[in-house]
Amino acid sequence: MLGNQRNAISAYRKVGLDVAVEASDPHGLILLLFSGAQAAIGTARLAMQQHQIATKGESISKVIDIISNGLKASLDLEKGGELAIRLEALYDYMVLRLLNANTKNDLKALEEVSGLLEEIHSAWRGIAPEQQAVA
């Protein structure tokens, strides 16, 4: 019975995320990527503390995927100028720190990436889509 309940909760969350993605504008999608990365870091942190190697690895891989194939891939290096170039370098740095966190069980590296992501996420939350259109 507990397994069925977990499957139902998982399915509900997936449907909720699918709806959020479909209803979001590009700004909202970036916010969802940051939230997903932070959630995966939280899972990795817990797994690291509980010595759950597979879960830790899967969660860190998810964060790397979000950063590389979501956040970094969304950068427009031509229109974004210096800021986009610096964000690209920062995202590359985060991926290296995450790889280090995974191979060496380095909780500090995981926390560092979490803090960096939160700083950028906070800035994105402060930018309303209307302000982006003006810029």
- Domain boundaries along the sequence of the chain: 2-128
**Percent of residues, the chain, with pLDDT higher than 90:** 70
pLDDT tens, residue by residue, 73-121: 999 999 999 999 999 999 999 999 999 999 999 999 999 999 999 999 9
At 17-33, the pLDDT tens digits run 443 444 468 888 899 99
Burial 37-46, CB ≥16 within 10 A → b, else e: bbebbebbbe
Q: What is the mean pLDDT of the chain?
A: 84
60 has pLDDT over 70: yes
Q: Flag whether the pTM goes above 0.85.
A: no
* CA atoms of 122 and 10, how far apart (whole Å): 27
Q: At what angle do helices 2-23 and 26-49 cross, to 10 degrees?
A: 150
Q: Which fold has domain 2-128?
A: Four Helix Bundle (Hemerythrin (Met), subunit A) (1.20.120)
